[in-house]
Amino acid sequence: MSLSLKLVAQQAMDNYYQQFKNDNTDFFSLEDFIQYCGNSVASIYNTFYLEQYKEIRGDKKDEVVTFDIGWLDEMILEVKEVDGRLFSRFNKSIFTFPFDKSNTGLQNVFIINPNDRCECERSSINNVWQLEFIPQTNKIFFYVDKGGLGFVNKGMCNVKKVRVLYVPSVYADMNVPDGIIEMVVQKTVLSMRQMADKHVVKKSLDGNDNQIIESEINKLSLK
């Protein structure tokens, strides 16, 4: 079963210290482990995406990279008319991939009300204008816009409520798929041990590194 990022971060923290944390001497806090576990999840998602994207491009296919259903979350959204168009606002954040023009983070959209079995087909905000010129068909096209989904109805269909499957954005309460939990823990612990070995310093409140103050005295002259 999946675990929240907070619990995965706690596992990574236990694995890292292998004892109770000493607040006076131990550098990393649970918040640090949540942050770096989140970075590990994002790295794993991006690696998977790039590998699949290369395969699709190598086969010269025009497809969206797909993720296993166990990696996805779902949200149920109401569709309403907003400023003269059908629109549904996201209530959760969706993961964004680098250089992705297909909005891969949003995987599937299904119409659940009314249940008239009309198809829901992916489009893009750049291609919406072209939909005006296609003939009528019993399909509803969806496209990702800022903060939500837009819909274009090209037939006798209707849409009031949809079920959206998506790759969740990284945040403290997100669900980490069970298949990558161990990978996230190991990746995070290794990364943080490497940082500790290099004596990484935390950022100060102004965002700058807390550097050790050094004088401008020529140290060689002191020998």
Q: What is the pLDDT of residues 124-136, one digit of tens each?
A: 999 888 988 888 8
Provide the pLDDT confidence category of residue 26 given band limits of 50, 70 and 90. Answer: low
Q: Cα separation of 14 and 3, whole Å?
A: 16
Q: Model's pTM, two decimal places?
A: 0.78
Cis before 114 (ω within 30): yes
Q: Cα–Cα–Cα angle for 158, 74, 2, nearest 5°?
A: 165
Provide the pLDDT confidence category of residue 73 given band limits of 50, 70 and 90. Answer: very high
| Helices and strands in the chain: count of H runs, count of E runs | 3, 10
Give the model's pLDDT for residue 20: 56
- What is the distance, to the nearest Å, from the Cα of residue 126 to the centroid of all Cα atoms in its chain? 22
Could you tell me which residue, 19 or 97, shows the higher pLDDT?
97
Q: Which amino acid is at 192?
A: M
Block residue for tokens 């919406």: 128
Q: Which amino acid is at 179?
A: G
Q: Which amino acid is at 168?
A: P
Classify residue 153 as exposed, middle or buried by CB count within 10 Å of its CB (0-12, 13-18, 19+): middle
Provide the pLDDT confidence category of residue 29 given band limits of 50, 70 and 90. Answer: confident
Question: Hey, what are 178's tokens?
Answer: 């069970």
Q: Which of 198, 165, 141, 156 is nearest to 70 (CA)?
A: 165
Q: Is 29 helix (H, G, I), strand (E, B) or coil?
A: coil
Contacts of 193 (CB under 8 A, 6+ apart): 16
Which DSSP helix (H) or strand (E) runs through 5? helix 5-17
Range 123-139 burial, b when 16+ CB lie within 10 A, else e: beeeeeeeeeeeeeeeb
Residue 167 has pLDDT above 70, yes or no: yes
Give the model's pLDDT for residue 117: 75
